[in-house]
Amino acid sequence: MREMESPVRNLIGNGTVIKGDIESSGDIRIDGRLIGSLKSNGKVIIGQTGMLEGDITCKQAEISGNVKGTIATEELTALKSTSKVEVELTTKQLLIEVGAQFTGKCSMGQASTVELPKQKIG
């Protein structure tokens, strides 16, 4: 029997600090702080109060908070006006809103060779 293929939504709330690596088969939102890597088969959202020190690997990323490390997305990376990122970025498409602070290096436009977590079939 196959697992239900509905998007899983995960939340790391404001005031929560996690040290370690996270793998998710669905979407994840971080409003707290993560020190470590984050891999997702879905969309990663870093909220305005969110901070991530490490690596993000996902299909899509929407950043409103702070990220320091690397970001690799298969599709779109959106840097919102409140974002502050110091990253090495690999993405297919990039959207940067006025006010976003981007420091680093960006490679884009090609099909990304992002390795996402493997989905389990039960």
The pLDDT tens digits for 32-45 are 999 999 999 999 99
Neighbours of 111 (CB within 10 A): 7
Average pLDDT, the chain: 87
pLDDT in tens, 77-88: 999 999 999 999
In terms of Cβ atoms closer than 10 Å to its own Cβ (0-12, 13-18, 19+), residue 79 is buried
Q: In Å, how far are 2, 8, 22, 114, 119 from 122, measured between CA atoms?
A: 6, 16, 21, 24, 10
**Can you say how many angstroms the Cα of residue 68 is from the centroid of all Cα atoms in its chain?**
11
